[in-house]
């Protein structure tokens, strides 16, 4: 049993990125070739066949998005349609029945609404994290998808993923690969994460915030962080983020590509980021729902350490990008059309 706290028990300004039971979740079942209606539930466990392919074969995928409390007390989601669409693509890759995007958005709204008291207050920087998941169930012994599936969402209040929030973090280049060149890297499937544990563990045991993965085919280009995409800002103010079929297509990344151009007048491109050319960048960062924007203070590759703007201070363009993004997410800045969904 998870200990049952109430929202009043929480120190909103000092939340970590850990599970706190909120009481209401969402579940939908796929059986006989169709999705059932789905419903809110107070169950925080699932009972499935021990022969379910999610357990043995990794037939599952998941998402991560956040609900934000605005200054006037309302609650909003950031681009949930994009998470719904990405989950459809992930599902297709592991032959799960896709959960329709409109139903995904409705489920996300319903579960946030039911847990409204757990959406952290405006000004604390904390948010309510939503973790949608979809997995194959029903008995399977061979290598094949399950006859049934379950879609669910749990929510939990969170603070910063990387300690310190907008504080530069140190990363370490991993010798391991996260995903294969023509594998599942672009899908948000659990196997990509289990296969990154050793690299992440090694980096953390050496006091780094996390591992950075290189492109699996040549090991010469930066691919991404274990939980976020990477960006660099060149000396002539170009925002550059790796383009690769084996990284997760980050919603934060596409948002920042647009904001860098439209709001900060920067050129913004997806391209190759060679490890040998890191000198071209005056600032660098990691970006994602959990990571938000975390400045990359340094990257260590074996004996070599490359420092970007500073190991202790955040660069001005990284800060400006952060303020635009977070301003939109918390409702302090106008959002581009369709980015914000009010609860």
- List % helix, strand, coil for the chain (3-state, nearest 5): 25, 30, 45
Check binding of 252 to ligand PLP (CB under 6 A).
yes
221 is an active site residue = no
Instruction: Check binding of 325 to ligand PLP (CB under 6 A).
Output: no
Closest CA to 291 of 166, 112, 201: 166
Q: 197, 202, 88, 97: which is closest to 150 by C-alpha?
A: 97
First to last CA, the chain: 30
The answer to whether 288 contacts ligand COI (rule: CB under 6 A) is: yes
Q: What angle do CA 226, 326, 110 make, to 5 degrees?
A: 85
Residue 248 makes contact with ligand PLP by CB under 6 A: yes
Give yes or no for residue 250 binding ligand PLP (CB under 6 A).
Answer: yes
Q: Between 35 and 193, whose beta carbon lies closer to ligand COI? A: 193
Which partner from the list ligand PLP, ligand COI, none does 251 bind, CB cut-off 5 to 8 Å by kind? ligand PLP
Instruction: For ligand COI, give the closer residue by CB, 63 or 177.
Output: 63
Smallest gap from residue 291 Cβ to ligand PLP (A): 7
Strands 148-158 and 60-62: unpaired
Residues in contact with ligand COI, total (CB under 6 A)? 5
Q: Of the residues 71, 163, 188, 333, which is catalytic?
A: 188
CA gap 61, 263 in Å, rounded: 34
| Contact between 64 and ligand PLP per CB under 6 A | yes
Chosen from ligand COI, ligand PLP, none, partner binding at 229 (C-beta under 5 to 8 Å by type)? ligand PLP
Q: What x/- string results for residues 282 through 301 when contact with ligand PLP is judged by CB under 6 A?
A: ------xxx-----------
Cα separation, 231 vs 242, in Å, equals 7
196 binds ligand COI, rule: CB under 6 A: no
Distances (CA, A) of 203 to 69, 78, 209, 272, 280: 34, 31, 7, 24, 25
Out of 22, 52, 76, 229, name the contact with ligand PLP by CB under 6 A: 229
Q: Which helix (H) or strand (E) holds 256?
A: helix 251-262
From the list ligand PLP, ligand COI, none, partner contacted by residue 250 (C-beta under 5 to 8 A by kind): ligand PLP
Cα Dmax for the chain = 57
Distance CA 252, CA 10 (A): 28
Q: x/- binding map, residues 14-53, to ligand COI, per CB under 6 A? A: ----------------------------------------
Q: Which CB, 30 or 78, lies closer to ligand COI?
A: 78
251 binds ligand PLP (CB under 6 A): yes
| Bridge partner list, 295 | 285
Using CB under 6 A, list all residues that contact ligand COI.
Answer: 64, 227, 288-290
Catalytic residues: 188
């Amino acid at each position: 049993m998870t200990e049952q706290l109430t929202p009043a028990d929480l120190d909103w300004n000092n939340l970590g990125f850990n599970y706190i039971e909120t009481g209401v979740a969402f579940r939908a079942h796929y059986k006989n070739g169709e999705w059932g209606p789905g419903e809110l539930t107070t169950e925080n466990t699932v009972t499935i066949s021990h022969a379910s392919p999610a357990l043995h074969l990794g037939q599952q995928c998941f998402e991560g998005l956040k609900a934000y409390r605005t200054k006037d007390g309302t609650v909003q989601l950031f681009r949930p349609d994009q998470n719904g669409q990405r989950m459809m693509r992930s599902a297709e890759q592991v032959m799960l029945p896709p959960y329709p995007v409109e139903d995904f958005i409705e489920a996300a709204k319903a579960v946030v609404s039911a847990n409204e008291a757990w959406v952290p207050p405006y000004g604390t920087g904390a948010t309510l994290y939503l973790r949608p998941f979809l997995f194959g169930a029903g008995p399977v012994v061979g290598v094949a998808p399950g006859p049934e599936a379950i879609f669910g969402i749990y929510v939990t209040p969170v603070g910063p993923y990387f300690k310190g929030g907008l504080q530069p973090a140190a990363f370490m280049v991993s010798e391991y690969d996260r995903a294969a060149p023509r594998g599942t890297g672009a899908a948000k499937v659990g196997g990509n994460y289990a296969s990154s544990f050793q690299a992440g563990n090694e980096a953390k045991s050496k006091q780094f915030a996390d591992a950075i993965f290189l492109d699996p085919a040549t090991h010469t280009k930066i691919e991404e962080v274990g939980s976020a995409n990477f960006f660099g800002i060149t000396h002539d103010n170009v925002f550059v983020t790796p383009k690769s079929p084996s990284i997760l297509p980050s919603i934060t990344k596409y948002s920042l590509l647009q904001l860098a151009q439209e709001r900060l007048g920067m050129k913004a491109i997806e391209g190759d980021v060679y490890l040998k050319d890191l000198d071209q960048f005056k600032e660098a960062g990691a970006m994602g729902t959990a990571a938000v924007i975390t400045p990359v203070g340094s990257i260590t590759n074996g004996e070599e350490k490359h420092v970007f703007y500073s190991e202790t201070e955040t660069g001005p363009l990284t800060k400006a990008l952060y303020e635009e993004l977070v301003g939109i997410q918390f409702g302090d800045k106008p959002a581009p059309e369709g980015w914000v969904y009010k609860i």
